[in-house]
C-alpha cells in the first residue's frame, strides 16, 4: 500500500472510535496530535483528551464512549506502569475488548515493549516501526486491529439482560452504541430489556455558534450541579460534525470537561454521521437511552450553528443559545432564529471588547422578537457570562435559570453578572513589587545589623 494512499476503515457499528491522549504528568503532545489527525483522516471518530491524562480518566472515557481502542503517547517515563494499569482497569470494568496502542519514541525500550505486549497491550510503536512501516503504515495497522473489535458481539449483547442504572457505565455505553447503529426493532428490544425508569426527565439543549463556549459553559454548570445537588446523575450528549470526505470526526467537546472525574456525570460524544444538521440523526434515541436507565437530567450540545438553525428544539424541552459579541452588525441579530425561541440567550466571553454594546443590542432584539417592551433588563432571558472565569456571576445566574426549569437546587450568586475578576484580584495586583520591597527591606535591615556587629567586634 502506498504511503499516501487514503484508506477509510469502518465497522458494523459505524466508524472506528478511538480515544487519544498523552499520559499523566506528560506535556509532550506533539506526537499524539499528529497521530490523532491521521487516525481521524482514516475514518475514525477520535475523542481527544489532550495531555496529562490519568489512567482513570482514559479508562472512564473509553467506557462511556464505548471505544474500540485507546491510542496514547508516553514520553516522561513510567510507561510500563501506565499502560499496564490502563489494561487492568479496562479488564476490571469488563472491557477486555478495548485495544490499547501507544508510542513514546526511544523512551520505551525494546525489552519494555516486549513486556507491554505480553501484558495485553496490542502494539507499542517504536522509532524502528516508524522507519519500516512509515507513518501511514502504523496508522493503518492500528486502524485494522481496532476495527476487528466487535462492539456488538454475542457476549456483550448477552450482558443486556436486565434493568441497568447510570452506574453501569459499560452497559449504558453499549446501549448508546446501539442507539447509533441498531435497527429500530433491535434497539427497542435492548432498551426495554434494560429499562429501570419510566420518568420523563428534562432535556436541556445547548446550541450556538462554533467555539462560542458551549462546552465550557456546560462544564461550569456541571460543577454547580454537583455542588448544589450532590448525587444527581447527569448525562451529557455532545455532537460534533462528521467530516464528509473521510467519515471521521474530531469529537472535541470532552477536552473542555474538567468536571467529568465525578462518576455522577456521564458523557457521550456523538458525530453528526451524515444527519445534515447540527444534531446527530439518532440523538432522540440516545436521549431515550438516558431516560430509560434513570439519569436525573440530560444535556445535549449541538455542533456550531449558523443563523437559521434551530434543530435542537426538536429534541430538547428547553434550549439555550450561546453566542459571542462577534455576530457582525446589529441587523444580523434579526436573522438569528434562536433569538426567537431560546429559553435563555447567553452572551459568552463577556470580558472581550464590544460585549457591553452587544448585550444592549441583544436585549433590544429579544425585546422586539418577543414583544417584551415593558420587561426590565434583569427579567429578560438574556445572560452575559465569562465561562473561563472561576465562579463567574453570569454563569451563576444562568445556573439559577436552568435549575428553576428542571427543579434543581441553585446557590445564590456571589458576584455580579459581567464582573471581571482577572486571575489576580485588583488589591493584589502589585503583589510581586510588594514581595520585592519586603526582600529589599529585609536585606537593608540585615546589612545594618551586620555593620553594627562588625563595629562592636573591633
Ligand X SMILES: Nc1nc2c(ncn2[C@@H]2O[C@H](COP(=O)(O)OP(=O)(O)OP(=O)(O)O)[C@@H](O)[C@H]2O)c(=O)[nH]1
Q: How far apart are CA 43 and CA 62, in angstroms?
A: 18
Q: Is 214 in the site for Mg ion (CB under 5 A)?
A: yes
Q: Which CB, 112 or 343, lies closer to ligand X?
A: 343
Q: Which CB, 106 or 308, lies closer to ligand B12?
A: 106
Q: Is 253 in the site for Mg ion (CB under 5 A)?
A: yes
Q: Is 15 in the site for ligand B12 (CB under 6 A)?
A: no
Q: Which CB, 101 or 408, lies closer to ligand B12?
A: 101
Asked if residues 342 and 317 have their Cβ atoms less than 8 Å apart, the reply is no
Q: Which does 71 bind (CB under 5 to 8 A by kind): ligand B12, ligand X, Mg ion, none?
A: ligand B12
Among 102, 147, 205, 213, binds ligand X (CB under 6 A): 213
Long-range own/partner contacts, residues 100-106 (CB < 8 A, 24 or more apart)? 100/69, 100/70, 100/72, 101/69, 101/70, 101/71, 101/72, 101/125, 101/142, 101/145, 101/146, 102/71, 102/72, 102/73, 102/74, 103/31, 103/35, 103/73, 104/73, 104/74, 104/75, 104/79, 105/31, 105/75
Q: Which does 153 bind (CB under 5 to 8 A by kind): ligand B12, Mg ion, ligand X, none?
A: none
Site for Mg ion in 343-382 (CB under 5 A): none
Cell 445572560 belongs to 383
Q: Are strands 14-15 and 10-11 parallel, antiparallel or unpaired?
A: antiparallel
* Dihedral class, residue 400 (left if φ above 0, else alpha if ψ from -120 to 50, else beta): alpha
> In the complex, what is the shortest distance from the CB of residue 209 to ligand X, in angstroms, rounded to a whole number?
7
Among 29, 60, 66, 253, binds ligand X (CB under 6 A): 253
Q: Which CB, 100 or 237, lies closer to ligand B12?
A: 100
Per-residue interface string for the shown chain with ligand X, residues 280-319, x marking contact by CB under 6 A: ------------------------x---------------
Q: How far apart are CA 193 and CA 184, in angstroms?
A: 14
Cell 472525574 belongs to 261
Site for ligand B12 in 81-140 (CB under 6 A): 101-107, 125-127, 130, 138
135-147 helix and 30-41 helix, angle to the nearest 10 degrees:
60
Q: Which does 101 bind (CB under 5 to 8 A by kind): Mg ion, ligand B12, ligand X, none?
A: ligand B12
Q: Is 450 in the site for ligand B12 (CB under 6 A)?
A: no
Stretch that binds ligand X, among 78-86, 207-215, 264-272, 369-377 (CB under 6 A): 207-215
Asked if residues 66 and 174 have their Cβ atoms less than 8 Å apart, the reply is yes
Residue 262 burial (CB count, 10 A): 13
Q: Is 144 in the site for ligand X (CB under 6 A)?
A: no
Site for ligand X in 377-436 (CB under 6 A): 386-388
Q: How far apart are CA 115 and CA 436, in angstroms?
A: 53
Site for ligand B12 in 65-84 (CB under 6 A): 71, 73, 75-77
User: In terms of Cα–Cα distance, which of 57, 63, 65 is closest to 268?
Assistant: 65
Q: How far apart are CA 125 and CA 100, in angstroms?
A: 11
Q: Which CB, 190 or 236, lies closer to ligand X?
A: 236
Site residues for Mg ion per CB under 5 A: 214-215, 253
Q: Where does this chain bind ligand X (CB under 6 A)? A: 210-216, 253, 256, 304, 348-349, 351, 386-388
Amino acid at each position: 500500500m502506498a504511503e499516501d494512499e487514503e484508506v477509510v476503515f469502518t465497522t458494523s457499528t459505524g466508524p472506528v472510535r478511538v480515544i487519544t491522549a498523552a499520559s499523566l504528568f506528560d506535556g509532550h503532545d506533539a506526537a499524539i496530535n499528529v497521530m490523532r489527525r491521521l487516525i481521524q483522516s482514516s475514518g475514525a471518530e477520535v475523542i481527544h483528551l489532550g495531555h496529562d491524562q490519568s489512567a482513570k480518566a482514559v479508562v472512564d472515557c473509553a467506557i462511556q464512549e464505548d471505544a474500540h481502542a485507546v491510542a496514547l503517547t508516553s514520553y516522561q517515563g513510567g510507561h510500563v506502569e501506565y499502560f499496564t494499569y490502563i489494561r487492568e482497569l479496562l479488564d476490571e470494568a469488563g472491557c477486555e475488548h478495548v485495544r490499547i496502542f501507544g508510542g513514546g519514541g526511544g523512551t520505551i525500550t525494546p525489552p519494555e515493549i516486549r513486556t507491554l505486549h505480553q501484558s495485553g497491550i496490542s502494539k507499542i510503536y517504536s522509532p524502528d516501526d516508524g522507519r519500516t512501516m512509515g507513518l501511514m503504515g502504523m496508522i493503518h495497522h492500528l486502524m485494522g486491529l481496532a476495527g476487528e473489535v466487535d462492539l456488538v458481539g454475542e457476549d456483550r449483547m448477552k450482558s443486556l439482560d436486565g434493568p441497568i442504572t447510570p452506574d453501569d457505565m459499560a452497559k449504558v455505553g453499549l446501549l448508546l452504541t446501539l442507539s447509533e447503529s441498531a435497527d429500530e426493532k433491535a434497539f427497542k428490544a435492548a432498551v426495554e430489556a434494560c429499562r429501570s425508569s419510566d420518568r420523563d426527565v428534562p432535556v436541556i439543549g445547548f446550541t450556538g455558534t462554533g467555539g462560542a463556549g458551549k462546552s465550557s459553559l456546560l462544564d461550569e454548570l456541571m460543577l454547580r450541579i454537583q455542588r448544589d445537588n450532590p448525587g444527581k446523575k447527569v448525562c451529557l450528549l455532545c455532537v460534533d460534525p462528521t467530516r464528509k470526505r473521510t467519515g471521521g470526526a474530531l469529537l472535541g467537546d470532552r477536552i473542555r470537561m474538567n468536571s467529568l472525574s465525578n462518576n455522577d456525570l456521564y458523557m457521550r460524544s456523538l458525530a453528526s454521521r451524515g444527519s445534515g444538521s447540527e444534531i446527530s440523526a439518532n440523538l432522540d434515541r440516545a436521549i431515550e437511552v438516558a431516560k430509560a436507565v434513570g439519569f436525573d437530567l440530560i444535556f445535549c450540545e449541538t455542533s456550531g450553528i449558523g443563523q437559521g438553525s434551530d434543530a435542537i428544539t426538536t429534541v430538547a424541552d428547553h434550549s439555550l443559545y450561546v453566542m459571542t459579541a462577534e455576530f457582525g452588525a446589529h441587523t444580523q441579530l434579526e436573522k438569528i432564529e434562536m433569538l426567537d425561541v431560546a429559553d435563555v440567550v447567553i452572551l459568552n466571553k463577556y470580558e472581550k471588547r464590544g460585549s457591553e454594546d452587544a448585550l444592549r443590542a441583544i436585549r433590544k432584539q429579544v425585546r422586539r422578537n418577543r414583544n417584551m417592551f415593558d420587561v426590565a433588563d434583569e427579567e429578560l432571558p438574556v445572560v452575559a457570562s465569562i465561562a473561563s472565569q472561576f465562579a463567574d456571576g453570569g454563569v451563576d445566574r444562568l445556573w439559577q435559570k436552568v435549575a428553576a426549569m428542571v427543579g434543581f437546587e441553585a446557590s445564590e450568586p456571589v458576584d455580579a453578572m459581567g464582573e471581571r475578576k482577572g486571575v489576580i484580584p485588583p488589591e493584589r495586583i502589585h503583589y510581586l513589587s510588594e514581595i520585592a520591597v519586603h526582600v529589599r527591606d529585609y536585606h537593608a535591615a540585615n546589612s545594618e545589623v551586620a555593620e553594627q556587629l562588625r563595629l562592636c567586634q573591633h
